[in-house]
Amino acid sequence: MIPPQCSHLSDNVSSILDLARELNSDRQRRIAEASLAKAVAPKFEIVFAGVFSAGKSMLINALLERELLYSAEGHATGTECYIEYAEPEAERVVLTFLSEAEIVRQGISLCQHLGLSTKEDFTATETIDLLQQACTVIIEQEGGASKSERAKQANALDLLLKGFIANRDRIDPQRHNTYSMEEFNFSNLSEAASYARRGSNSAVLTKVEYYCHHPLLQDGNVLVDLPGIDAPVKKDAELTYSKIEHPDTSAVICVLKAASAGEMTSEETELLEKMKTNMGIRDRVFYVFNRIDQTWYSGQLKQRLDNLIETQFKDTRRVYKTSGLLGFYGSQIKSTSSSDRFGLDSIFADSVKCVGGEEETPQFVSEFNNYCAGANKLTKTNFRVSVHSYETPNENYTRILSEYGKPLIEQLVTDSGIEEFRSAINRYLTEEKRPQLFSNLAEDLKPICDDLKQHYLKQLQKLDSQPQEIEAMKTQELTLLNQKLQEIGKEFSQHLEQEVNSVVTNQDATFESDFQKLKAQMVSRLDELLQTFSVQEAYSRATLSHPRNATAPLIAVLVEALYHLANELEVTLVSASEILVKNFCQRLRDRLKQQDYYRALDRLLHEDTGIQEQIEELETKLIHALVSEAKTECDRYVRESPRFYDEGTFSIYQFRQTLQQTSQGYDCASMVEAEPAIRQLLKLDFEPKVSTTIRRNFRQTINMTIKSHLLPIAQQQADKILQYYPQARKVLEQTLEQEAITKIALNQKILSEVKQEIEQYNQSINELNNCLQSLNLSDYQLPVIESTEKTSVSMEDNNHYQDVGVVAIE
C-alpha cells in the first residue's frame, strides 16, 4: 500500500517537473513521468508472456493454486485474461465475447488452412453441421486431436463452432458483448472459470476478467495471461506484443520453453528485445524456465539449459526453473485420497472418461509416473518407488500414492520449483515492488533535481555578484570614454577626407552630374548670347559713351560685345557654382547622419558637437570662394584671346572681311549689316575661352576650393570632439544610473521569484524525501537547497540590493 506520507506524491513530482520545464530534455521528463505513473498507479499489471504451450496459463494456475485458466496442448489461450484481487465474498468474473464477424473471420481462416470449402453462409446451421463433421473426420484420420498440426487445427475449428453454437444468443454481429457472472447464473468463481476454461467457450471469448481472492493479488497486482507470442492465429500473437509494449504493463514474467526445446526460439529472443523498449517495465522482468521436468529425463536437455542460463542469463536473481504441471496438480491432489483414487474420480474425472473399455491417462498422471520412474529426483530420498509395467498408468499412480502419500506429493511440489517461484514473486510484490517503484522514481528525479538546484544556486550567485560587476563596468565604460571620443573624431575626419577625395577623383557621381550641368549651362548660355547678340545695341552703347561723336568704329562695337558676353557668362557661372556647392553640402549633411560614428556621438553627448553647423558655415564659405573664382574667371573673357590678331588665323581674316563690310558707310546700318560676321568673330573668340574654363580651369578651381576648406574643418572638429569629455561623462553617468535603477528593480523581482521557486522546490523535495523515508529509501534522498548554500545571499535580505547604488546591464 502507498504510505500516507506519499499522498501528495503526484503533486510534488509535477511541481518539480514544472520548475524544471526549461532545463530538462523531453526524454528525461517522459522517463520521470512514466515512473511517477507507475509509482502511483492503482494497478500493477504482470504480464505472462512466452511462446504458445510454454505453460503460461498453467503457471498462473499453479501460482494461485486454483484452476482458473484454460490450459491445454496446442494453441490454448486466444483471449486476454486479467486476474485481479477481490474480497472472498466479492469474487466474480466478467466475460467479453468476440463479435460474430470476428468468429466468422477466424473460422474461414481455419477452413482455408484445412482446405475446407467456405462458400456457403458460414453461420448457417447446415454449414456448421457439415464443417463439424469434416473436423471429426480429420481428427479421426490423424489419430487424435493433438496428434498433428492438421488435427490441432481441426480441433480448433471444432471448438470455435461449438462455442459459437453454444453462445449464439450472447454474440453480437459486430460488437463485443460483456456479461457478468450473474447473467450466467454462476454462483461462484469456480463455476464461471470452468465455463470460461472450456475450450469451446474460450474460443469465442476475447477477454475474461477474474476478480479473485488471493494475497498475491493484493495491492493492485493484476496477473495477465495472453496468447503465445507465436500463436498460429496472427491476431492473438499481435495482441500479446501490443500488451508487452503497452505503458500499463509494469512487469513481465517470461515463460520460456527452453527447458524442453534446449534453446531459445527466435520469438523468445524477440520478446526479450521488445520488453526493453517499454519504460513501464524497466528491469521488472522474471525469467521462468518452465517444463523443467523434461530436463530430468534427459541429461542432454539439462546440459543445454544450464549452458544457456550460464551464457545468457548471468544475473540469476530473477531466473526460475519450474514445472507448472507438476506443481499445480501436485498442490491440487494434496486434498485427495484413496477414496477418489487421488483425483482420478474428482479432479481428473473429465480426462479419464473412458471411450471404450480402458480409461484414458491424464497428462499429470503420465508425468507423475515419469517422475517416479525416470527422474533422478527421488534417488537420494527415502522413497523407494517403483513403476510396474504390468499395471496401467492410472493403477501405478494410485498405488504409489497410497504407498507414499503426502510426503511424496510434497517432494514432487518442492521439485516442481513452483513454491520457490511463488514465494519469490510474493516477496517481490509485497516487499520489493513498492520501494523499487519509488526508488526508480527517485533515481529518475535525481538528475532533474540536481540540475534545478545548480540552476538556482547559479542564479543566486549571479544576482549576488551583479552590484560589483556593475561598479566595475561603470569604471570601465568611463575609462573607455576618451578613447571612444578620439575614435569618433578620427572617423569624422577620415570621412571628410574620403568625401573630398571622391570629388577630386571624379568618383562622386552626383557631383559629376552637377558639374556636367554647369558645363552645359555655360555652353548653352554662350550660344544663346551669340544668337541674341545685337550690333545695334552695342553700337548704341558705344556712341553713348562718346557724346561728341556720331559714329563708332568696329572695334568699339567689338569691345562692347566682349564686356557684355563676359558679364552675362559670369552670371551663369556664379549661379551654377552656387547650386553645385549647395547640393554638395546637402549631400554631406545627409550622409553624416547615416554614419555610425555620428550616431555614437549623439548617444554619448545627445548632440553633434556642432558638426551640422560647421557644414552650414562651410556652405557659405564655399559659395563665397567659388563666386569670387567665377568672377575672376569670367573677367578674363573681356580680353580677346592672345592669338586673336595673329597673322594667318581665321579670326584676323574674318575681322578684315567684317571691316570691309562695315566701312561701306558711317551710319549704324552698315554695321548692322555686318552682324552675322561680327557674331562669327565673337564666336571664334569666346568658344575657346569658355571651353578652357569648363574643361580645364574651373574644375580644378572647384576641387582646390573644396579641399582647402574641408580638410581643416575635419581636423578642427576632431579636436573639438575631444573637448566634450566632461559632458560625455555626465551623460554616461546619468544613463548608467538610470539603467542601474531599472536593473536593481529587475534583479529584485528575479530574486523574489527565485526565492519563491526555491521555497516551492524545497517543500516538494521535503515531502518527497519524507515519502521515500517512510519506505526505508533513505539512500534515495533528493537534494534540498540549504540556506547555507545560497552563496553569500541571504534569502531574507533584500536591502542588500537596495544599498548598492549602481547595477548595470545584463
Q: Binders of ligand GTP among 733-792, rule CB under 6 A?
A: none
Q: How far apart are CA 700 and CA 703, in angstroms?
A: 5
Smallest gap from residue 398 Cβ to ligand GTP (A):
20
| x/- map, 213-232, ligand GTP, by CB under 6 A | --------------xx----
Closest CA relative to residue 214, chosen from 388, 430, 415, 448: 430
* Helical segments of 75-208, H only: 100-114, 125-142, 149-166, 189-197, 199-204
Size of the site for ligand GTP (CB under 6 A): 25
Q: Which three cell numbers stand for residue 366?
A: 503420465
| Among the listed residues 243, 234, 182, the one whose alpha carbon sits nearest the alpha carbon of residue 207 | 243
Whichever of 231 and 684 has its CB closer to Mg ion, that residue is 231
User: Grid coordinates standing for 277?
Assistant: 523498449
Shortest distance (Å) from residue 369 CB to ligand GTP: 12
Beta bridge partners of 209: 82, 94
In single-letter form, the type of residue at position 468 comes to: Q
- Using CB under 6 A, pick the residue from 45, 367, 464, 560 that binds ligand GTP: 367
**Cβ proximity to ligand GTP, 2 vs 72, nearer residue:** 72
Q: Which of 91, 142, 209, 293 binds ligand GTP (CB under 6 A)?
A: 293
What's the Cα-to-Cα distance from 727 to each of 285, 602, 713, 718, rounded to whole Å?
Answer: 78, 12, 22, 16
Question: Looking only at residues 375 through 434 of this chain, which bind ligand GTP when binding is defined by CB under 6 A?
Answer: none
Nearest-angstrom CA–CA distance, 272 and 269: 5
Residue placing its CB nearer to ligand GTP in the complex, 15 or 361? 361
- Pick one of 194, 363, 595, 703: the residue that binds ligand GTP (CB under 6 A): 363
Closer CB to Mg ion, 77 or 572, in the complex: 77
Query: From the list 206, 323, 361, 658, which residue makes contact with ligand GTP (rule: CB under 6 A)?
Result: 323
**Residue 202 binds Mg ion, judged by CB under 5 A:** no
Exposure string for 418-439, b = 16+ CB within 10 A, e = fewer? bbebbebbeebbeeebbebbbb
Cα 285 vs. chain centroid, distance in angstroms?
A: 31
d(CA 330, CA 498): 107
Cβ 374 to ligand GTP shortest distance, Å = 12
Round to whole Å and give the CA distance between 252 and 244: 8
Q: Going by DSSP bridges, is the β-strand pair 80-85/221-225 parallel, antiparallel, or unpaired? A: antiparallel
Beta bridge mates, 286:
253
Residues 142-201 binding ligand GTP (CB under 6 A) are none
From 242-250, 319-327, 489-497, 500-508, span contacting ligand GTP (CB under 6 A): 319-327
- Of 54 and 408, the one with the shorter C-beta distance to Mg ion is 54
Cα 240–chain centre separation: 31
Query: Which residue among 107, 199, 280, 324 contacts ligand GTP (CB under 6 A)?
Result: 324
Footprint on residues 70-89 left by ligand GTP (CB under 6 A): 71-73, 75-77
- Distance in Å, CB of 95 to Mg ion, minimum: 17
CB under 5 to 8 A by kind: which of ligand GTP, Mg ion, none does 107 bind? none
Interaction with Mg ion in 37-76: which residues (CB under 5 A)? 56-57, 76
Binding mask 399-428 for Mg ion (x = CB under 5 A): ------------------------------
Q: Return the one option of Mg ion, ligand GTP, none that residue 489 interacts with (CB less than 5 to 8 A, by type).
A: none
Interatomic CA distance for residues 471 and 697, integer angstroms: 62
Least gap, CB of 53 to ligand GTP (angstroms): 4
Residues ≥6 apart with Cβ < 8 Å to 78: 202, 203, 227, 231, 233, 236
Cell of 302: 539439462
User: What is the closest distance, in whole angstroms, from the C-beta atom of residue 363 to ligand GTP in the complex?
Assistant: 5
Residues in Cβ contact with 637 at an 8 Å cutoff, skipping those fewer than 6 apart: 562, 565, 566, 569, 570, 686, 689, 690
> Which CB, 286 or 698, lies closer to Mg ion?
286
Distance CA(292)–CA(305), nearest Å, equals 9
DSSP 3-state assignment of 95? strand
Cell of 46: 504482470
Inter-residue contact 215 to 426 (CB < 8 Å): yes
In the complex with Mg ion, the residue whose CB is nearer, 49 or 630, is 49
CB of 416 to ligand GTP, least distance (A): 7
CB of 53 to Mg ion, least distance (A): 8
Specify the residue, 255 or 754, whose C-beta has the smaller distance to Mg ion.
Answer: 255
Candidate residues 81, 196, 212, 325; the one interacting with ligand GTP per rule CB under 6 A: 325
Q: Tell me the closest approach of the beta carbon of residue 205 to ligand GTP, in angstroms.
A: 13
What is the gyration radius of the CA atoms in the chain, in angstroms?
A: 56
Question: Cβ contacts of residue 396 below 8 Å, gap of 6+?
Answer: 369, 372, 387, 388
Of the pair 51, 718, the CB lying nearest ligand GTP is at: 51
Min CB(225)–Mg ion separation in Å: 6
Residue 324 binding target from Mg ion, ligand GTP, none, CB below 5 to 8 Å by type: ligand GTP
Q: Is 223 helix (H, G, I), strand (E, B) or coil?
A: strand
Instruction: Using CB under 6 A, pick the residue from 106, 153, 290, 769 that binds ligand GTP.
Output: 290
CA separation for the pair 349, 625 (Å, rounded) = 134
- And the C-alpha cell for 213? 481472492
Residue 73 or 719: the one with the smaller Cβ distance to ligand GTP is: 73
Q: Binding to Mg ion by residue 717, rule CB under 5 A?
A: no
For ligand GTP, the closer CB: 39 or 58: 58
Q: Output the smallest distance, CB 64 to ligand GTP, in A.
A: 13
Min CB(325)–ligand GTP separation in Å: 4
CB of 58 to ligand GTP, least distance (A): 3
What minimum distance in Å lies between the beta carbon of 421 and Mg ion?
17
Whole-number Å distance between alpha carbons of 63 and 529: 127
Of the candidates 201, 180, 186, the one whose C-alpha atom is nearest the C-alpha of residue 98 is 201
Closer to ligand GTP by Cβ: residue 367 or 415:
367
- Residue 134: contacted member of Mg ion, ligand GTP, none (CB under 5 to 8 Å, by partner type): none
Number of DSSP helices (H) and strands (E) in the chain, helices first: 30, 9
Residue 277's SS3 state is coil
54 binding ligand GTP? (CB under 6 A) = yes
CA nearest neighbour of 562 among 638, 635, 631, 634:
638
Question: Which one of residues 15, 77, 416, 439 is an interface residue with Mg ion (CB under 5 A)?
Answer: 77
Q: Can you say whether the dihedral through the CA atoms of 433, 436, 438, 441 is positive or negative? A: negative
In this complex, which beta carbon is closest to ligand GTP, that of residue 61 or of residue 436? 61
Interface ranges with Mg ion (CB under 5 A): 56-57, 76-77
Interface ranges with ligand GTP (CB under 6 A): 50, 52-58, 71-73, 75-77, 227-228, 290-291, 293-294, 323-325, 363, 367
